[in-house]
Amino acid sequence: MILMKRDLDYLFNPSSIAIVGASDRVGSLGRGLAENIISTYQGKIYFVNRRGGKILGLETRRSIKEIDDRIDLALIITPAQTIPEIIDELRDKETKVAVIYSGGFREAGREDLEREVVERAKRNNIRILGPNCVGFIDNWTPINATFVSRDRQGIPRKGYVSLISQSGALGSLFLDLMSYREIGLRRFISVGNASDIKISELIRYLIDDPETRVLGLYIESVAEGRELVETLRIFSSKKPVVLLRGGRSAKGSRAALSHVAALSASPKLVDGVLKIPGATYTGSIKEFLASLEVLEKVDRISSLDKIIVVTNTGGMGVLVSDALENTGFVLSDLSPEQITDLRGVVPPYMSIGNPIDLSGDATTERYREVLKILTEKRESKPDLLIIINQPQTSAMDIENFVFFAEELRGYLKDLRILLLISGGKYSQELATRIRKLGVPVAEDPYELVAMVKSLKRDLIKGVRTLDLVESKRSFTESIIQKALSDNRGILLEPEAKKLLSLYGLEIPRGFIAESVKDLRELFNEKSLRFPVVAKVISSHIIHKSSVNGVVLNIRDFYELENAYSNLVKSISEGGVKILGVLIEEMIKGSLEFFIGGYRHELFGPVISFGLGGAYVELIGDVVFRVYDSDISEVYSMINETFFSKLLNRFEDKYKIQENIVRAISIVSRVLEDNPEINEIDINPATIYQEKIYVLDAKIILRKIRTY
């Protein structure tokens, strides 16, 4: 079903609402929903309950048929088996959207019942939110269409963060914590099973919503796959997105023909493809909420090179410095002028550096003087100022510090300022007072780092992987068709390397020997040099090392002839047909790495990169992205690996990195050009004389024959 924008207008701005399953029983979900609707919604409200009577002072209809009015929005909170009939009854009331709170559908093994509800809704032109959801909130309409308790559930103030959650229970928790942290809410939507209205469709609706300035998204299932990624790309190019994902533990991987396929079954793949420029990927509830808090109140910035920390506790300053450095942020040096001016403010027994330690006897006035020094000269003003206040010290005048925090709000237009206030009840109360002023407050160094990461705006280069490499389809098609005509599901290694070389990757010089007597003749004809490697060629063998089908570091013709004979004998004795032996020069590059490409069933083509070698799966140093990523994301994926740390020891690391980005882009182009290819596995590739050499390559076609 294609989501029309008008449909969601009826969800968030209905003229009339019917609650089917409203109840007067205290503690019931039907009662909680009714209370929330009555207390927030200003339009026409109808309660439906087969017992009749009154609920919260409103006359109750025994059935939908008794309502003599159009119902824009139906809120259904009755047993699952009753809902198909209810959907049919709503047709005559011209209902546009129904929210189904009830469980007992797909999540309980009743896919058939959920499918029936969706099919009936489609016939009746009714959109479905849910089932198995908590509902939604629109703070601007206003309307609270959830069943959560008003007594025990904090509801955030009116604001600019929209929140979508696959988990109703966690969604309620997020709302409670948003209220505590003074994060303003535009809309909250619990999607439940998302049988009809999908997450990606909701995100598209929010893109053009001027009151949605930040999107928070909690997801567990990624069934929407590529559509979700593309929608997030569009949204994040315009507004910040903060993601938290559950279900990240591995449940096993499928048997695979290549390393890349096995790795693609890993949760790392989902993590990778959801790392989109403009989106903040968080790892905990606290990081998630901290990121939402700062993005609602402070604009992002492209550069965070100048970070200064001011603190009244040296220990917390050290922890913050460590946490920032571990995440890739470095505190900047103070200018000579700043150091001179600070000597008149900081106690003489304190050394002056960054963090600026004001000592435990620091007063609010000392903070004010330091702020003035750090901001009075534009050329030395920090990109980000972090102010740490541990209020337990007796020297701190709390009321005066609150006034100081209110003054900070005036600086937020052209200076990013974050506060860190740690402690128990007293500190939390102080943090709440300051948050009410519109200043973001972290409660520990890890929350602070999450805020800093969120503030850093990704620099999008505007060039995607496919833009870097020209199509070579006219040359590659014959190679692929040859394999298919031979009824092979894989390209032989020489074929795979030939195909990759057409796009610009380097391959070692070599030849295919079909007999011992070929060795000397072809070796000399190709002007090869020892040492060389010998590899068996067979359409029945994918992982040659697992059958001892590779001999390395062959130093002369005697060793070469022995290697050839031994390979042919051992493999043939196993009953496997050999097509020849590939002889190649040994390329001893400086580093080995892995590049992969794979057509994922949900996300479409994806690319992967990591530390290479025989133990690539065991080491797990691999990251993923969708294949047509902006090249800024390709650089990012390289930097996420342990391989990047090894690369740092090379003087020409930036040139090497540039070449690796091009090699990854080539794999993207190969997938784009050749729909017959399912998997590409370059392992290892290496760097030799600033070029990328493919030492081994597997290309698996989409129709794979089992041998």
Three-state secondary structure call for residue 111: helix
Q: How far is CA 72 from the centre of its chain?
A: 35
Task: Note the pLDDT of residue 248.
Answer: 67
Provide mean pLDDT across the span 50-60: 94
pTM of the model: 0.90
Split at pLDDT 50, 70, 90, the class of 704 is very low
CA dist., res. 273 & res. 268, Å (int):
9
Lowest mean pLDDT among 407-416, 578-587, 616-625, 666-675: 616-625
Could you tell me whether strands 73-76 and 97-100 are parallel, antiparallel, or unpaired per DSSP bridges?
parallel
Task: Note the pLDDT of residue 255.
Answer: 35
CA dist., res. 617 & res. 374, Å (int):
49
Task: Note the pLDDT of residue 222.
Answer: 86
Task: Note the pLDDT of residue 707.
Answer: 30
State percent of the chain over pLDDT 90.
79
Residue 348 to residues 344, 352, 370, Cα–Cα distance (Å): 8, 9, 15
Residue 136: strand pairing partners: 145, 189
Average pLDDT score over the chain: 92
- In b/e form, how buried is each residue of 206-220, taking b as 16+ CB within 10 angstroms? beebebbbbbbbbbe
Provide mean pLDDT across the span 416-436: 94
Give the residue range(s) of CATH 3.40.50.720 domains in the chain: 5-212
Give the residue range(s) of CATH 3.30.470.20 domains in the chain: 592-701
Q: Where are the alpha helices (DSSP H) in 208-283?
A: 225-236, 259-264, 267-273
* 67-115 confidence digits (pLDDT tens): 999 999 999 999 999 999 999 999 999 999 999 999 999 999 999 999 9
CA dist., res. 51 & res. 21, Å (int):
10
Cβ atoms of 324 and 331 closer than 8 Å: yes
Residue 459 has pLDDT above 80, yes or no: no
Angle (CA) 379 382 383, round 5°: 110
CATH class of 5-212: alpha beta
SS (H, E, C) 627-648: CCCEHHHHHHHHHCCHHHHHHC
Work out whether the CA dihedral 170, 176, 180, 184 comes out positive or negative: positive
- 467-585 carries CATH number 1.10.580.10: no
Task: Note the pLDDT of residue 69.
Answer: 96
Could you tell me which CATH number the domain at 301-455 has?
A: 3.40.50.261
* 364-404 confidence digits (pLDDT tens): 999 999 999 999 888 889 999 999 999 888 778 889 999 99
The fold of the 592-701 domain, in CATH, is D-amino Acid Aminotransferase; Chain A, domain 1 (3.30.470)
Task: Note the pLDDT of residue 163.
Answer: 99
Three-state secondary structure call for residue 537: strand
Nearest residue to 115 (alpha-carbon basis) of 9, 10, 195: 195
Residue 216 has pLDDT above 60, yes or no: yes
Nearest residue to 174 (alpha-carbon basis) of 105, 246, 238: 246
* 149-208 confidence digits (pLDDT tens): 888 889 999 999 999 999 999 999 999 999 999 999 999 999 999 999 999 999 999 999
Residue 215 has pLDDT above 70, yes or no: yes
Task: Note the pLDDT of residue 696.
Answer: 96
Residue 410 has pLDDT above 60, yes or no: yes
Beta-strand ranges (E) seen in 546-676 are: 550-554, 580-585, 592-600, 604-611, 622-626
Give the residue range(s) of CATH 3.40.50.261 domains in the chain: 301-455
* 259-273 confidence digits (pLDDT tens): 444 445 468 888 899
Task: Note the pLDDT of residue 573.
Answer: 81
Conformation bin of residue 527: beta by default, left when phi > 0, alpha when psi is -120 to 50 = left
Residue 336 has pLDDT above 80, yes or no: yes
Task: Note the pLDDT of residue 250.
Answer: 53
Task: Note the pLDDT of residue 2.
Answer: 52
Task: Note the pLDDT of residue 380.
Answer: 84
Residue 252 has pLDDT above 60, yes or no: no
